[in-house]
Amino acid sequence: MKLLKERQLRENAKTGGTSWIVTYADLVTLVLVFFILLFSISQVDSTKLEEAVQSFKTASTTSMQTKEIASSDGVLEGGRAVIDPLDELLKKVKLYLQENGLDGQIQASRDERGVVLVLNERVLFHTAEAIVLPEGQDVLRSVGEFLHTIPNFIEVEGHTDVRPISTYRYPSNWELSTARASSVIRFLTNSYDLDPTRFRAVGLGATQPVVTGNDPEQLAQNRRVEIVITPQTELDKTNKETSKAVPNS
């Protein structure tokens, strides 16, 4: 035992008893690296942070604007914008009128009623008459060809100017406007075998003028027939009739 202790003392004397310093130095280095990492993580780049915040705000604003636009048109479905069928129909109508050279005789637009085709009196009738003129028949034939390609219901409105009328056939503008709407429907259904149940004739007399005033041009603008292509279709009608026919359980 004595010899062993003497040997250990000699070995310690040779190494100087400093071998523990290596381990201690490694430990201090690791601790230093650890605190450097903590310090670097705690330092936030303010410029990059501001850029990230602005990017988030821009993305949020764009998303909200998209939703507002789609919601105002009532065309949000599953978070995606859906094209309004009436807008597509209006584009189709305008293209058809242009291709057939009718855009100078028929004005197409859209309002809450649907897609509206406006035909002035001079295109269809003589003043104070409800018999469709030959040139008016040509125009209506083109309209009938288009209506034959879609399932929508049609409302034909007759409009007159404010000048009173009193004849044996048309005692007032009410009768004249209704007769004109009916003449248009009769021609369309007879010429193109269109289902009469898709149509409705409405006589509005002088109650809905386009412009106010009594000069000849203004009066002529108010004498018109409007063909309104409504949103309702044959499929809508069938679904409603089916729902009525099925009793509630």
Q: 180 and 71, same structural domain?
A: no
CATH at residue 230? 3.30.1330.60
pLDDT of residue 249: 42
Q: 109 and 173, same structural domain?
A: yes
Residue keyed to tokens 């310090």: 39
d(CA 190, CA 205): 25
Q: 236 and 143, same structural domain?
A: yes
Q: Is 246 among the domain residues?
A: no
Q: 37 and 59, same structural domain?
A: no
Q: 161 and 130, same structural domain?
A: yes
Residue keyed to tokens 């503008």: 173
Q: Is 245 among the domain residues?
A: no
Q: Which of 207, 209, 211, 185 is nearest to 197 (CA)?
A: 185
Q: Which domain holds residue 98?
A: 85-240
Q: 179 and 70, same structural domain?
A: no
On average, the pLDDT of the chain sits at: 81
Q: Is 177 among the domain residues?
A: yes
Q: 101 and 133, same structural domain?
A: yes
d(CA 236, CA 242): 10
Least confident of 4-8, 24-28, 210-214: 4-8
d(CA 217, CA 210): 12
d(CA 194, CA 186): 10
**Strand order of the sheet with strand 106-111?**
106-111, 114-120, 224-233, 152-159, 199-203
pLDDT in tens, 142-154: 999 999 999 999 9
Mean pLDDT of 189-201: 92
Least confident of 67-71, 88-92, 172-176: 67-71
Q: Is 136 among the domain residues?
A: yes
Q: 154 and 91, same structural domain?
A: yes
Q: 91 and 67, same structural domain?
A: no
pTM of the predicted structure, to 2 decimals: 0.65
Number of domains in the chain: 3
The three-state (H, E, C) secondary structure of the chain, written as one string: CHHHHHHHHHHHHHHCCCCHHHHHHHHHHHHHHHHHHHHHHHCCCHHHHHHHHHHHHHHHHHHHHHHHHHHHCCCEECCEECCCHHHHHHHHHHHHHHHCCCCCCEEEEEECCEEEEEEEHHHHCCCCCCCCCHHHHHHHHHHHHHHCCCCEEEEEEEECCCCCCCCCCCCCHHHHHHHHHHHHHHHHHHHHCCCHHHEEEEECCCCCCCCCCCCHHHHHHHCEEEEEEEEEEHHHHHHHHHHHHCCCC
By CB atoms closer than 10 A (0-12, 13-18, 19+), residue 167 is exposed
Q: 50 and 37, same structural domain?
A: no
pLDDT of residue 197: 94
Q: Is 26 among the domain residues?
A: yes
Q: 199 and 160, same structural domain?
A: yes
Q: 110 and 76, same structural domain?
A: no
pLDDT in tens, 45-73: 566 656 655 665 565 565 555 555 554 55
